[in-house]
Amino acid sequence: MRISHETINALTKVLTGDGFEKAVAPYRTGPELIEFFNDFGRLDRYGPGFPSRWHYTKSVLDEFNGTDTIKDIIEAALDPRSFLDSKFDVVNAVEYLNMYLKYDGYKISRIGKF
């Protein structure tokens, strides 16, 4: 699965929780982002000299883009459990990403509770 650079940027916003004008997902710290991506086979460690959360996330997404893993990353980024105990609604994050994904020929749909 390959997605555009614009969609990579939108997914980066969802994963980091960065809001520029308005955040759509909970904020993830550097260590939380490391843990998230290590679930997909990375072996990164957080420490001195680590890049910004945005740069790290975008570069990892670029690396996985064009593989089947990017689909799994998108699904994990939108796991409703990550939105519990936050002011954010996963439905809004899905709608946000779908605005970009439609130009790539994809759409996120609910299957069961996910």
Look at residue 21 in the predicted model and tell me its pLDDT: 75
Look at residue 20 in the predicted model and tell me its pLDDT: 67
Domain with 32, as residue range(s), is 5-104
| Residue 51, token pair as written in the block | 């890049």
Is 111 a domain residue? no
Is 9 a domain residue? yes
Is 24 a domain residue? yes
Is 113 a domain residue? no
pTM of this structure: 0.94
Rounded Cα–Cα distance for residues 13 and 41 (Å): 22
- Phi first, then psi: what are they for 23, rounded to 5°? -70, 150
pLDDT by 10s per residue, the chain, length 114: 999 999 999 999 999 999 767 899 999 999 999 999 999 999 999 999 999 999 999 999 999 999 999 999 999 999 999 999 999 999 999 999 999 999 999 999 988 888
| Residue 84, token pair as written in the block | 């519990």
